[in-house]
Structure 1
Amino acid sequence: MLNFNDFLENEDIITEGIHDKGIFKAFYLAGGPGSGKSWVAAKTLEGSGLKVINSDIGFENYAKRAGLNLKQMGDFTKDQTKLKDELRRRAKRGTQTMGQHAVDGRLGLIIDSTARDADKIESAAAGLRYLGYDTYMVFVNTTLEVALKRNEERPRSVPEPIVRESHRQIQNQIPRLIRMFGAKNFIEVHNNEYREDINVKVYKEIRKLANSKITSQIAKDWIENEKALIRARNPSGKVDTGFFSRFRSRYF
């Protein structure tokens, strides 16, 4: 057992969770079909402690369990299409719930997007900044030829005309996205080749942003409030720091 006053002086203990890696950081990933967003995210943000918000992951898992081959969506029967649409809705609901829990805890976020709906991104990013988040855009860019080739290789490909139109729309959105996030918070990754040694400069830049200190006063005030709540929950002045103590309050 540890005296509570000593506990309060131990910043590492009292701020566990509050100072998790990436707290109050939100990275938007943008790029069209076949741009390799997931690959770039794995190479630059894996291990950063940020929570991935991407309904595609849940949707593809649901589809696999249901025995749906998403590469054959164009040949789906009416019942298969109905099932696919329901699985997509279920995945989106689950992702929204997961995302809300993450935001409630002000956890760091990796938010998947396509950049086609810039209005939606702008509104969501503004909401996060209102809560004290620093927001960034990692824009994964490829040539149209590479995007078409990778789309064919994906488990869930889309018709070629859609890839072409999506690529055109997204390219046109780049200037707006730069204005939206600011030049310093906009990182463009040219991903025409999958390389194990992804551009070192890009990697360092993204990791530096993910690990940078919190600057928002809103965020700092939230953290101080959480510390105060931790203190208020321990009026006895004694804190059990044993291994099982972290589970006792939750399950017993």
Structure 2
Amino acid sequence: MDQPFDASVYVRAPIINIANGVTLANALVAACPEAAPENVGKACTKLKAAAEAGQKALTARRRENGALTEEDSRVLDREADGSFGALRMRLVAYSMLPAERFPGARRAGELVKELFGDDGLAFLTAEYSVQNTVMASIVEHIQEANLQGEIDALAGPEFLQQIGNVLPRYDTMVRDKLQKEVTATSNLAAVVRAIQFAIVSYATKVAGMADEDDPATIEAVRKALRPLDAHREGAARRAQGGAKVDTTSGAPAVPAVPPATEAGAEGAGEPSAPV
């Protein structure tokens, strides 16, 4: 005997991100019954519009983080890497001279240790924000310890001049990237919320088509909402296998919102978005 139809499961919004939310919404639209009542048709139209808005938001996000911007960041990163690497190599090279003939060799070795520590240039392989912090701390130490004169005498003034040029630009790049990331994530979360509300509004209206005395209507409803069931089943399987971070969507998954009322469904275009 078939399980009784439980409409209550469709008043809970699915946990989605922008990418799989658009996919789920489009699947539900495609499965919409042909002879659906007017209220279902309107909800389906709104769901389709929410999916289209989500697709446009995702496309815009990828365009903002496009190849040109990322290439510019990589070029600046390589310049910063080379600048700090060159200073260290210059001091290391000087420290290799015979100390009895070149008294500055011993001091050059001390400066290598003082500025770069045991990890050397490992910080240059860290993410942009971490590298920016370490580079700034090195420059700050040079200033506070009044080391510029010594370094200029041992390595030449060009090295600190170059670092003084590249570091402010690198810091601006990192701040811009972080600000764009926060803004874009917040914006995408709002779009995801709108998709969630549209899905709940549509699903509850479709579920309302079910008549427990008419098995054909229940079968039609189950068929129409099968994409939503499949999404939840897939999420459950992934949860059992261990949670994974989705790196393809451009935004983190948004937790399910509380059950939507009719009024809440109508106001889905202005949901509150988590950061």
TM-score by length of 1: 0.23
Structure having the larger proportion of residues in strand = 1
Higher-helix-fraction structure? 2
Normalised TM-score (structure 2) = 0.21
